[in-house]
Amino acid sequence: MRYPIRFMLLLLLLSVIVVLPVQADDDEPLQVTVSILPQQYFVERIGGDHVAVNVMVQPGEFPGTYEPTAQQLIDLSESVAYFSIDVPFERAWLDRFADANPDMLMVDTTQNIQRVGMQDHGTDLPDDYETPENPDVHIWLSPELVAVQAETIYEALAELDPDNETVYRENLDAFLEDIAALQDEINATLDGVENRNFIVFHPAWGYFAGEFGLTMIPIEVGGLEPSARELADLIKQAQDLDVSVIFAQPEFSSESAETIADQIGGEVMLISPLNPDWLENMRSVAATFANVLNAQS
């Protein structure tokens, strides 16, 4: 019963928060809120010293099971903008955030992005796991799609703070240059890799795989652990593809990944999609994929 009680208490807190008009002083940075840590990196790259970014999902937490704390709800009342990205917790909370702070600009950073369903990454999902209702939300793991998100963030900051529009434009251009350089670097890192298949517990890396010509094979399907039969099929698939490393992430149990790794005589390696230093994380993950996949070739 603890979950429903806590949920109701948070809703009660939202209903009694008194929100004053949100208007930053000229010398004060814009208070804005994002859902996950990589978004903080994006907003800070464009906003620079003119923004102060609150992050809802803290290190070690998972956006699929996260609930805001009472203090975060209070802090939210001071934000002039919320940058959403359609991670699971937003579907329960985003409207409530907007109701609690009517003056807060709600910015959907998924706009102008053509998302795909999980099955379009080549995974076999249940028949009721439909593409339109369950798109892959991990758009921050594709540099190409991050460039689109950056444009949306720039437009929102320029709307909120037109006096500093030129600064935001210059910062955006610099960020876009870094993204283009990153894409070239990742392509070079993965160039020559022959075995381009990788197995991962949580299917977070589909957009990354699609952009750079890799094939992601997930263990978790539709948010569910694999059945015994599915696990056996994954073990056989790993053996057939000469996969020796199973990727997992710190926010999840690695039990299923360890089971497969044990059966194929391999190992589990952790990579996080939620690292706060987005640019360096992309470089690091690409290098990890290249090293592992080259060893499997």
CATH of the domain at 58: 3.40.50.1980
92 and 10 in a single domain? The answer is: yes
* pLDDT (0 to 100) of residue 121: 45
pLDDT tens-place string over residues 135-163: 899 999 999 999 999 999 999 999 999 99
* pLDDT (0 to 100) of residue 130: 41
Q: How many other CB atoms are found less than 10 A from the CB of residue 152?
A: 18
* pLDDT (0 to 100) of residue 22: 47
Strands 197-200 and 245-248: what pairing?
parallel
81 and 46 in a single domain? The answer is: yes
* pLDDT (0 to 100) of residue 296: 87
218 and 146 in a single domain? The answer is: no
Low-confidence ranges of the chain (pLDDT < 50): 1-3, 9, 17-23, 120-123, 128-131
136 and 233 in a single domain? The answer is: no
pTM: 0.88
8 and 145 in a single domain? The answer is: yes
129 and 10 in a single domain? The answer is: yes
Last residue of a domain, one of 170, 185, 209: 170
Q: Please report whether residue 177 resides in a domain.
A: no
223 and 129 in a single domain? The answer is: no
pLDDT tens-place string over residues 113-132: 999 987 544 445 555 444 45
* pLDDT (0 to 100) of residue 1: 37
Q: How many domains does the chain have?
A: 2
* pLDDT (0 to 100) of residue 120: 44
| CA–CA gap between residue 119 and residue 121 (Å, rounded) | 5
* pLDDT (0 to 100) of residue 251: 84
* pLDDT (0 to 100) of residue 18: 46
164 and 96 in a single domain? The answer is: yes
Domain that holds residue 71: 2-16+28-109+118-170
Q: Please report whether residue 223 resides in a domain.
A: yes
283 and 205 in a single domain? The answer is: yes
* pLDDT (0 to 100) of residue 74: 86
* pLDDT (0 to 100) of residue 253: 81
Q: Please report whether residue 244 resides in a domain.
A: yes
Q: Please report whether residue 186 resides in a domain.
A: no
Q: Please report whether residue 176 resides in a domain.
A: no
Please report the sign of the dihedral spanned by the C-alpha atoms of residue 72, residue 76, residue 82, residue 84: positive
**3-state helix, strand and coil shares in percent for the chain, rounded to the nearest 5:** 50, 15, 35
Q: Please report whether residue 124 resides in a domain.
A: yes
- Residue 102 φ/ψ, nearest 5 degrees: -60, -25
164 and 205 in a single domain? The answer is: no
138 and 32 in a single domain? The answer is: yes
Q: Please report whether residue 73 resides in a domain.
A: yes
Do 101 and 73 form a contact (C-beta atoms < 8 A)?
A: no
* pLDDT (0 to 100) of residue 133: 62
Q: Please report whether residue 184 resides in a domain.
A: no
57 and 105 in a single domain? The answer is: yes
